[in-house]
Structure 1
Amino acid sequence: MADPSAGKLSLPTLTAMVVGSMVGAGIFNLPGRFATATGPFGAIIAWLIAGTGMYMLARVFQALAERRPDIDSGVFAYAKAGFGDYMGFLSAFGYWLGSCLGNVFYWVLIGSTLGRFFPDIFGDGSSATAIIVSLIGVWAFHFMILRGVEQATFINSIVTIAKIVPLIVAILGFVFFFNYDQFAANFFGGVDMPEKTLLAQVRDTMLITVFVFLGIEGASVYSRFARKRSDVGAATILGFVAVTGLMVAVTLLPYATAPRAAIAGVQNPSLAGALELVVGHWGAVLISIGVLVSVLGAYLAWSLICAEVLFAAAKSSDMPRLFAAQNRNRVPANALWLTNIVVSLFIISTYWSRDAFNFMLDMTSVTALMPYLLVAGYGVLLARSGVGYETTPGERGRDQIFAWIAVVYTLFMFVAAGLKYVLLVTVLFVPGTILYVWARREQNARLFTPVELVIFAVTLLGGAIGAYGLLTGLITP
C-alpha cells in the first residue's frame, strides 16, 4: 500500500519554510532603518507592539488551522469564508501582489548589495545593469521552480541554515564589542539626530516591522503539503519565536557599538555597514554574502508562495481556471508565468523610482496588511460562532481576544503606513478586478452583492485618487 505521507512536508521542513520566508531581506536592513527613526527606547516599544500584534496573528493562524482543517489554501480562503467572494478575491490578489512586490524588493537589495563593491555598475540597485541582472535571475529561478516544488523546498531548507550563520556571527560580534556607555548615550535618541516625538519615532519603524514578519503564514499557505494538520500551527509559532529573537537582537545590539547617527548613515544593507563600524571591512563582506544567500533563498520561498496563492485561488474559482493548471511536476505553471511577468515589469519600473529600495519595502508591507486584517477578522467570527470548538468550548473566549488584538494591530498599521501607500495599493487593485470578473463569468455567477458593490466603488474611488496623485506629482514613488 502507498504511504499517504510520502512527498509530504514534515514539521521541521514546514518550520524551515516559515523561517526561510521570514528571514529574507528585511532583517539585514533593520539597524539602519531603526537608527534613522529612533533610539533603543523607541525600538523596544516598537518591537513590543509589533511582536505582540504579530504573535496574536500567528495564534489566529494556528487556531484557524486547527478549527477549520477543511480550508487548506491559507490566507485568502479564510477571507472568503468570513466575508464573501469579492473580499476573498481581494485578499488573494492583494497577497499575491504583495508577494510580487516583495520579490522585486529582493532583487533591488541584491543590486544595492553588489553596489557596495561595484558602485559604478550597480549603484543603489535600480541602475540599468542591476535591472538586467535581476531579470536574468528572475527567469533562471522560474525555470528551476518549474522542475518541482519538492526540489525547491529542499533547496530552501539548505539555504535557511546557510543564511542564519552570518546573522549569528554579527550578533556575537555586537555582543563582544558591547559598550554600555554608548548604548546609554543612544537610548533616548542620541546626539546629532533630529528631534521627534516618541510616537513619531515608533510610527516610523512600523512598516519595516510588518515587512520582516511577512512569511509568518508560510506554513499555512503550504498546509496541503503538511504530513499532519497540527504541524501547520506548530511550525508557525516555532518560526515566529525564533525569528523574533534574531530580529530584536539585530536591531538593539548595534546601538551599543556606535553612535546612532553613524548607524543611520551606513549604506544598505545596513547590517553590513553596522558590523563594518565594529570589526572592519571583513564584517561587511561576510554580511553581504549572507544577504545574497538569504535573499535568493527567500526569493525562492516567495516565488513558490506567489504561484501557490494564484493556483489555490483558481482551484476554488476565485481566479480564472487558467491558473489552476499544473505541469507534470505538480507546479502551477501558468500562475508562475503570470507572477514572473508581473515581477519583471515592476523591476523595470524601479528605474524611475527616487528610492526604489524603501519604496518597494513599504509597498510590500501595506499590500500584505489587508489579507492579514481579513484573516484576523475571520478569527473573531469563527470564535464567536463556535464552529470547530465543539470539543474545546473553553478556548473560544481566549481565541476571540487574540483575534481582536490582531484586528486592532493591523488597523493601527494601516494608520501608521499613511494615506499615500493605501492609495497606491488601490491603484493596483482596480485593474486586478478584471481577473475577478473573468472568474465570475466562467462560472456564470453573480458579480457583486450590494455590499460588495460598495466595496468595489470605494476601491475604484481610491484608485482614481491615487492615479491622479501619480499623474500630477502629488504622490511620488
Structure 2
Amino acid sequence: MSTQTDSTPAGGTVAKLSLPTLTAMVVGGMVGAGVFSLPARFGVATGILGSLIAWAIAGTGMLMLAFVFQNLAIRKPELDSGVFIYAKAGFGDYAGFNSAIGFWASAVAGNTFYWVFMTATVGAFFDSFGDGDTFLAVAVGSVGVWVFHYLIARGVRDAAIINRIVTVFKILPILVFIVVLFVNFDAGVFSDNWTAYGYGDLGDLNEQVRNTMLITTFVFIGIEGASVYSRYAKRREDVGRATVMGFLSVLSIFALVTLSSYAVVPQPELAATRQPSMVGVFESVVGDWGEIFISVAVIVSVLGAYLAWTLMAAEVMFIPARADDFPELLGRENEAGTPIVALVATTLGVQALLALTLFVDDALNFMLDLSTSLALLPYLLAAAYALKLGLTGESYDGVPAKARRRDTIVAGAATAYTIFLFDAAGMKFVLLSTVLLAPAALLYVKARSEHDRRIFSPAELALFALIVTGAIIGGIGLWTGRIEL
C-alpha cells in the first residue's frame, strides 16, 4: 500500500489506497458471515437446479450493479462516497439523505448480525452462548464492539491494512472447504439434490429461487465498498476495477461453496444443519477437527468483515455531514483523521441492536434480512441515477453512442433487479425500513436548519409523507403483533 497521503478538510492526513487494497476492501466487505451460512440457507429453500438459477440471477443482477458503480466512477469522478452522493446528485438532497441513512442502518444491522453469528459459532462449544442471543453472548459481543471502536479510532490507514491481511487469511479456509468437498464428491447425493423434489415440498422452481434472493443479496452487500472509499483511492480508475474484480472473485467462491455442499450432504440434512452451517457440513466430511477449523475461520472472517463495515458506515455518515446534509457534529474528525463522531454513532447503533437480540425471535436471520432490506434503497437510487445519465446523455459528451447505449442497458437491468429484490424482501421489511427512515428525518431537518436552507421541496415533502405513512403502518403492525420481530 502506498504511503502517499492526502489532506482531509480537517487538516489531517489519510493514506491513499492502492488497487489491491481497494479490492481487498470489496472482498473483505462481502466475505463475512454470510458465506458460512450458505449451505443451510440454500438447503432450506432449494436444490441444485434452483441454486444455479438463483446464482445466475443474483450474479447477473449484482454484476450489473458492479458495472453501475464502475461506470459512475468514470462518468462522475468528482463525486465521492458513492452510495450517498449518487442518490443526491440524481434525485435531490432528501433522496440522498435517505440513501445515506439506509446504507448506514444496513451496515449497523449487518454488523450486529456478525456478532450474533460469531457468538452462535462459539455456542457450538459452550452452551451458555446459545444461538448468539443469550445475555453472555450479548455481553461478549459488546466488549468486541468497543475494542474495534478503539482500533478504528486510531486511524483509517491502520484499519485498512489489517483488513487486507485478514481478507487473505479468511479466504484460505473457504478454499480448503471447497477443495475437500469436491474431492469427496458423491454422485448419488448430487443427483438426488438436483431438484430435491424427492425430499418433500420446496415449492415450484420459481418459489425456490425467490426464497434464496435475500441471502444471495446479503452476501453481496459490500460490492460498493471501493466507491465508499473513492476519496482515498490512489487512482480514480482503480475504484471501478476493484469493484468488478472483487465481485467476480466473490461470486465464484459463493457459488462453489453452495455446489460443493450439495455434492456431499443430502438436502434435508443441509436444511437442518446448525448455523454456521459450513461448520457442520465440513465436520461431516473430515471429522471433529473440521468443526474447529471452520469455526476459527468464521471468527476471523467475521472480525475482518466487521472492521470493513464499521469503516464504511462511519464514512457514509461523515461525508454527508461535510456536504451539509447531516448535522455538522457528525463531520468531526480526531487527530488520526478518523470520523470519530460518526464512528461513535455507528458503535452505539450496533450496541443498541445487540441488546435488541435478547428480545427477537431468530435474531440471526432477522438481522440478516433487515440488513439486506435496508441496503436496497441505496442500490436502487444509484442504479436509477446511472440510468438517468444514460437516458439524458449527461456526462456523455464525446462518448460514442454505442457506449452510452450499453451503459444505459446495464443501468436499466440493475434498476430492474433492485426493484425485484424489494418484492422478494416482502412488505414486512419495507415497512420496518420506513420505521427507521421517518424519525431519521429529524437529522435532515437539523442539518438544513444549521445552514438556513429550505427543508423540503414539494416533491421531497411528498416523499417524506410517503415514508411517514409507511412508518405509521409499520408501527401499528409492531404494536398489534401483525409484524413480528
TM-score range, shorter chain: over 0.9
**Structure-2 separation of matches of 1:106 and 1:421:** 19
- 2:364 aligns with 357
Identify the match of residue 170 of structure 1 among 150, 156, 177: 177
**Structure-2 separation of matches of 1:83 and 1:179:** 53
Q: Which residues of 2 match residues 33-112 of structure 1 at below 5 A?
A: 33-112=41-120
Residue 235 in structure 1 maps to residue 242 in structure 2: yes
Q: Which residues of 2 match residues 294-373 of structure 1 at below 5 A?
A: 294-373=301-380
Displaced runs of 4 or more, over 6 A: none
Q: TM-score, normalised by structure 2?
A: 0.96
**What is the deviation of 1:189?**
1.6
Identify the match of residue 383 of structure 1 among 381, 384, 390: 390
Q: Which residues of 2 match residues 94-133 of structure 1 at below 5 A?
A: 94-119=102-127, 121-133=128-140
- 1:7 aligns with 15
* Code of the aligned partner of 1:300: L
**Structure-1 separation of matches of 2:480 and 2:297:** 41
CA-to-aligned-CA distance 1:84-133 (integer Å, 9 cap, x gap): 011000000000010000000000001110011112x1000010000000
**What is the deviation of 1:388?**
2.5
**What is the deviation of 1:191?**
3.6
- 1:259 aligns with 266
**Percent sequence identity over aligned pairs:** 51
**What is the deviation of 1:166?**
0.8
Q: Which residues of 2 match residues 213-232 of structure 1 at below 5 A?
A: 213-232=220-239
**What is the deviation of 1:4?**
6.2
Residue 455 in structure 1 maps to residue 434 in structure 2: no
**Structure-2 separation of matches of 1:86 and 1:151:** 34
| Structure 2: stretches of 5+ with no match in the other structure | 7-13
Residue 182 in structure 1 maps to residue 154 in structure 2: no
* Code of the aligned partner of 2:26: V
**Structure-2 separation of matches of 1:222 and 1:465:** 36
**What is the deviation of 1:245?**
0.1
Structure 1 contact 79–374 (Cα < 8 Å) conserved: yes
* Code of the aligned partner of 2:328: R
Structure 1 contact 22–215 (Cα < 8 Å) conserved: yes
- After superposition, the CA RMSD in angstroms is 1.2
**Structure-2 separation of matches of 1:275 and 1:199:** 29
- 1:245 aligns with 252
**What is the deviation of 1:282?**
1.4
* Code of the aligned partner of 1:91: S
* Code of the aligned partner of 1:255: Y
Structure 1 contact 18–218 (Cα < 8 Å) conserved: yes
**What is the deviation of 1:456?**
0.7
Structure 1 contact 36–264 (Cα < 8 Å) conserved: yes
* Code of the aligned partner of 1:430: A
Identify the match of residue 466 of structure 1 among 471, 474, 479: 474
**Structure-1 separation of matches of 2:391 and 2:147:** 47
**Structure-1 separation of matches of 2:479 and 2:36:** 34
**What is the deviation of 1:459?**
0.6
**What is the deviation of 1:190?**
4.7
Q: TM-score, normalised by structure 1?
A: 0.98
Change (3 A) 1:392 1:345: same
**Structure-1 separation of matches of 2:342 and 2:459:** 29
**What is the deviation of 1:224?**
0.5
**Structure-2 separation of matches of 1:307 and 1:59:** 25
**What is the deviation of 1:384?**
1.9
| Structure 1: stretches of 5+ with no match in the other structure | none
